[in-house]
Structure 1
C-alpha cells in the first residue's frame, strides 16, 4: 500500500480553516479540497459521506484537542487551581490563535448546519460549562455561583471572538481572557 501523501492532521487543519472562515453552508468542495491539498475524488475517498462527514471530523478533532489541552489543564488536580486556570486559559488562547480564529461552535451553528450539528454543539458547550464550574468550585466559589460564572465565561469567550474579529482587534479577546482569570481569582 502506498503511503498517504497528505497526512490526516494536515487534512483536518485545512478543513478546519475553511469551516471556521466560511461556515458549513459557505464551504465549497473546491475550497475544502484546495485547503487539504487533495483532489475532490481523494477527499471523497477519505470522507465518503461528503461535507457533513468532513465537518464531523473537524468537530471531533477540535473536541479531542480541547479535552486533551484545555479541560485536562483545568481538571489536573496535581496543580493548584490557580495554575490550572491560567494554563486552561492559555490553551484557549492557543486554540483561537490569540483571537484570530473563529470558534467552530459558531461556524457550525448557522442555518442548516445547526440541524446537523446541534446536539454536538449543545454537548460541547455543556462540557465547557461543567469544566469551568469545576474549576470555580476548586477555587472556592459556591457551586451555584460557579455554574453562573462558567456560563458567563463561555459567553465572554464566544462574544469576544466575534467582537475582536468584527473590530479587527485581537487585543479584545486577550483582554477578555485576562478578565476571566481575574474574575475567578478575585473570589
Structure 2
C-alpha cells in the first residue's frame, strides 16, 4: 500500500469528473480529504486511512469496484472505503439515515475520522460556493438546504466522540454557520 499509488489511482479514476455545479476537477475533493486526515493523524502509522481518504469516492462515483480496491490496496483500505460509500440504489433519505446510524453505532474510529474529513471538505466547498452564489447553492443538491441541514447535523451528532479533533470542531462550526 502506498499513498503515492492511491494518489495516482484516484486521479485516474476521477479523470473527467467535476465537483457538483462547477468545472472544478473532482480530484480536488479526495485530495482535500486526505490532507485533512494527514493533519489529524500520524501519516506514518495511518497510511491506510490516508489512502482511504484519497480513494473514498472511487467505488461510489466511478467504475471502480470494491474488489479492485481490495486487490490494489488491501482489506483495511477497502473496509474504510466501503464504510464511506453509499448504496445508490436506495433513496437519498434512506442512504443518509443509514450513514448517520452507521457512524453512531457501528463505525470504527478510523471510519469516523474518514467520514468527518469527507463531510468537512464538502462543507468547506459549500461555504465557498455560498459566498459566490448565496442561497442558489442549495439548488445544486438532490435535496435542498433543509434536508442538507438534517443530514449534516445528524452526522455531526453521530461523530461527537471526535470532539477533541480540530477537524470535528471546524465541521461543527461550519454546520452552525451554514444551517443555523
TM-score by length of 2: 0.30
Q: Which has the larger radius of gyration?
A: 1
Task: Give the number of the structure whose residues are more often helix, by fraction.
Answer: 1
TM-score by length of 1: 0.29
